[in-house]
Amino acid sequence: MPRPWVLSHAIHGDQPWGVQRAAMDAAEGHDRWAHFLEQGLGKTALVLNEFITDEYCKLMFVICPNSFKMDWVMAPKEWGIPNLPARMSPKGDIPSHGMYVINYEAARSAGNTKTFEKLFEEMPVFLVIDEASCLKNPRSLNSKVIMEYAKRATRVRLLNGTPMTQNVLDLFAQLKCAGELRTTNMFAFKHRFATVGGYMGKQITGMKNEDELTAIMKRCSFRALKSDWRDLPPQTDVPVHVEMSPAQVRHYKEMAEEFYTIVSGMDVHADMVLTQLGKLRQISSGFTVQDGHTRLIDPDGKTPKLSATVDLINSGQGKVIVVYHYQDSGRQLFQRLTDEGLNPAMLKGQMKPEDITFTKHVFDTDPGCRVLIAQQTAACMGHTLLGGEGDDRCTRMIFYENNFSLRDRLQMRDRNHRGTQDQPCTYFDLITSKIEEKVIGALSAKKTMADTIDDLVRYARTEDTLRW
């Protein structure tokens, strides 16, 4: 008999989506399982329903990124289970039943591990590992501690939309938590499923024995893509080439050719090609950072990228997400867009969960708030950022800057392309140089970080990085 669906949502109703029903059916009878569903396919509700209908486990223990904690705590009320106790660290004690939510940093801390391991051994716990891509480095303390929790928990569910973005080793800790590879260590897994090459023959360059690995994945996981399960509007990418100011061009050329430039009396230097690439990207955004000190290249707010961003925002209807990487860019964006009367909201690192929740509420409900400025690493996972309805829908995203992470790029694009999105979405990339064009091209082609950086290093050594 299929597992019942007991949740009810004001917008999504009281029946599961087809992908949620298929995922529940696939996981039925498995104490350990991975729901590898792309962003926007309802993983939170799916696993909440599994817990609510579990006849044995009374405590749902959720480990997630810090910025997700408040969303998890609010989920029972949102899905029609308002009487389910839901607490989060560090403010609440672990309840004997209901939900307890903790972030990865707290979950792995030495002061908590013994307490949690004992908890999992003494009572039946339904362990949820949200955004399990945080376990992609099997050598990390995150992975080692969470794998130990998974051994002791009664039920385990992993949630991840992008289970592999770098190489096959991303899967090792996740498969361990899902109950596979019981007698296999990381080195044996790498030898069995990874091809190596590159510098000194130590870089993972591909996969082998893929049929065997696919069979393992099928035993413990369900994979679903939005393109197969949701009739969402299309996504369109639009490159926007922006000419740097004369001052930016001068400093950019000096850094590209000499690994050195002077900005407002501050010596800016790079010792390696990778450092040089970072400096070039900063210059293209209108500033440089050296030893913790920032210097603007043009007057504050006058960087061509900022002006291009304002023009794009004002050129269409709907709300907009502006994605940035560097803290100084976030500061400049907030000031310039505030001066333009756009009343921007902001998501950035180190925010408290309740502040994140309030910021998203303002963006979704306040017609006067037209823009959300989002730091990519802080905003790329888990959040639904749709704005309101009609002319207040968020249909555009401007990548003011990118980092080298394919995972962050893919996740960020899905923040406004999920749930009840009913309009086509457009993604603008601001490009000021060949280097930026190469970064965006590599990410669009879904190249890994290692491949991207290798290409950029070769390009920086041999080509004119400034002109298109």
pLDDT, tens digit, 9 for 90 and up, residues 410-425: 889 999 998 888 899 9
pLDDT, tens digit, 9 for 90 and up, residues 239-258: 888 888 888 888 787 777 66
In the beta sheet, which residues pair with residue 260?
269
Q: Which of 440, 454, 456, 455 is nearest to 405 (CA)?
A: 440
What is the rounded average pLDDT of the residues 165-191? 90
Full-model pTM? 0.74
Rounded CA-CA distance 419/371 in Å is 20
Q: How confident is the model at residue 465 (pLDDT cuts 50, 70, 90)?
A: low
Kindly report the CATH number that applies to the domain delimited by 235-462. 3.40.50.300
Rounded CA-CA distance 98/140 in Å is 30
pLDDT, tens digit, 9 for 90 and up, residues 170-181: 999 999 999 999
Do residues 37 and 19 lie in contact, with contact meaning Cβ atoms separated by under 8 Å?
yes
Rounded CA-CA distance 281/330 in Å is 14
Domain boundaries along the sequence of the chain: 18-229, 235-462
Q: Which of 65-74, 205-214, 429-438 has the highest mean pLDDT?
A: 205-214
Rounded CA-CA distance 109/66 in Å is 14
Q: How confident is the model at residue 57 (pLDDT cuts 50, 70, 90)?
A: very high
Residue 31: count of CB within 10 angstroms of its CB: 15
Strands 59-64 and 98-103: parallel
What percent of the chain shows pLDDT beyond 90? 46
pLDDT, tens digit, 9 for 90 and up, residues 352-392: 888 999 999 999 999 999 999 999 999 988 889 999 998 89
Tokens for 387, please give them.
């704005």
Read off the amino acid at residue 45: A
Q: How confident is the model at residue 226 (pLDDT cuts 50, 70, 90)?
A: confident
Kindly report the CATH number that applies to the domain delimited by 18-229. 3.40.50.10810
Do residues 88 and 70 lie in contact, with contact meaning Cβ atoms separated by under 8 Å?
yes
In the beta sheet, which residues pair with residue 235?
425
Q: How confident is the model at residue 447 (pLDDT cuts 50, 70, 90)?
A: low
Work out whether the CA dihedral 111, 115, 118, 119 comes out positive or negative: negative
**18-229 and 235-462 have identical folds:** yes
280 vs 201: which has the higher pLDDT: 280
**DSSP-based three-state secondary structure for 25:** helix
pLDDT score at 129: 96
